[in-house]
Amino acid sequence: MPTWTALTHTTGREAAEALAEAGEDLTPEPVGSGVFEIEDGSDRWEVGLYFTEAPDEVGLALLAVAWDAEPFAVSELPEVDWVAHVRRELSPVEAGRFFVHGGHDADKVPEGAEALLIEAAMAFGTGHHATTKGCLLALDRLIAEGVAPQRIVDIGCGTAVLAMAAARSFPVIVLAGDIDPQAVDVARANVIANGLDGRVECVEAVGFDHPLIENAAPFDLVFANILKQPLIDLVPDMARHLAPGGRAILSGILVTQAQEVIAAYAAGGLALERRDDLGEWSTLVVRRG
């Protein structure tokens, strides 16, 4: 079945979400939509509408004008088996003791590695992105240093790869929360596929705002691989939910944004312990005094 995409850009999340919602009233109706932040600190957002028949380009033009957005760029995509395509492209990732792989690469797991299975159909956030790999490397270093957290949570968990890595490393129940219910479903499926059912608890939550997470605080280790502004907005809650001496591993931060995040956390009483840059992305380890 052919697919058409219609992409535009606008300023601010609220405007982008409103534009995407308005796009659902077009005829023919889109089968899906997406809103994504352009991670360059500009507060620019991409809005995508997806169709299974050619969209009304006049309607799209009027929609863009009405919402003060750039003109939509419409493209017809070729028919592609995306799972097969991702499987071909999804090479295993080694991050210290951790080995993230799809089922098609199960025979490549090195002896002694902590293997984490993420299938191609659930491949976002698998470790192939430098932010996730940076978090896994930070966790690997903490383990090597003898750090042994008892209370762990993964905020914005995506596929739960970080929560699963922690559950493989420490004999504790790890909590994982995400604002997106679809991500939570994917996370739960991954937990079961990796034999960690009962070891990782996945919930739908905005930040720390869930009874299971609130009741488990304060935490010795928090993962937050999200984006710059949500990380900065999270500072007061992070300080409140992190135990004295506890650490947070933060990523989703461009190298050019790292100093701003470091300063915000320092102002909240969470000092930088380590910074590592991987390509254009930074991973920070901050610690509560």
Binding-site residue positions for S-adenosyl-L-methionine = 132, 156, 178, 225
With tokens 């003109």, the residue in question is: 71
Distance CA 81, CA 257 (A): 36
Q: E strands along 96-135, which residues?
A: 98-101, 114-117
Largest CA distance in the chain: 62
Peptide bond preceding 92: is omega within 30 degrees of 0, i.e. cis? no
| C-alpha of 266 from chain center | 23
Burial class (CB in 10 A: 0-12, 13-18, 19+), 149: buried
- Binding residues, by number, are 132, 156, 178, 225
Q: Report the candidate in 177, 201, 181 with the shortest Cα–Cα distance to residue 191.
A: 201
